[in-house]
């Protein structure tokens, strides 16, 4: 089946640093989504991308839909302690049409 490769698997950064994570796929997607999950909670949607090349911001978060439609990245600027959590990418548009998730990037922020 389709797979999403999300990297890095984990990150340990200092408060105030910028963060970048990405997802790549062997298949083309029509939609890319980025979620954040706090421990013991369900993922919360951060950014949705619908067009190749689209660059969208949500506060300190910026995400882009790759031109090839096979990749996406998420940047977090000036990280703060509450950014801690697991970030998931998700792509939609395969043969079955359902959402496919990456394995997540676990972010730790040192105050």
Instruction: List residues near other proteins by CB under 8 A.
Output: 1, 6, 30-31, 33, 35, 40-45, 48, 50, 88, 90, 92-93, 96-104
Residue 47, CB-side half-sphere exposure with 13 Å CA sphere: 24
Q: Cα 11–61–98 angle (5° rounding)?
A: 85
Q: How far is the CB of 2 from other proteins (least distance, A)?
A: 10
Instruction: Tell which residue, 17, 30, 46, 31, has the closest CA to residue 107.
Output: 17
Q: Smaller CB distance to other proteins: residue 59 or 97?
A: 97
Q: Smaller CB distance to other proteins: residue 10 or 18?
A: 10
Q: How far is the CB of 62 from other proteins (least distance, A)?
A: 17
Q: Smaller CB distance to other proteins: residue 15 or 47?
A: 47
Report the C-alpha gap between 90 and 48 in whole angstroms: 9
Q: How far is the CB of 19 from other proteins (least distance, A)?
A: 19
DSSP, res 54: -
Q: Smaller CB distance to other proteins: residue 14 or 41?
A: 41
Q: How far is the CB of 29 from other proteins (least distance, A)?
A: 9
Question: Which residues face 65 on adjacent strands?
Answer: 72
Could you give the 3-state DSSP secondary structure of residue 83?
Answer: helix
């Amino acid at each position: 089946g389709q797979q999403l490769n999300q990297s890095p698997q984990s990150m340990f950064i200092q408060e105030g640093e910028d963060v970048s994570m990405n997802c790549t796929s062997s298949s083309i997607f029509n939609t890319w989504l980025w979620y954040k999950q706090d421990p013991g909670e369900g993922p919360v949607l951060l950014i949705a991308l619908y067009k190749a090349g689209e660059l969208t911001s949500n506060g300190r978060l910026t995400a882009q839909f790759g031109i090839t439609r096979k990749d996406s990245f998420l940047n977090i600027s000036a990280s703060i302690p509450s950014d801690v959590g697991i970030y998931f990418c998700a792509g939609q548009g395969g043969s079955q049409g359902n959402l496919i998730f990456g394995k997540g990037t676990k972010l730790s922020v040192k105050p």
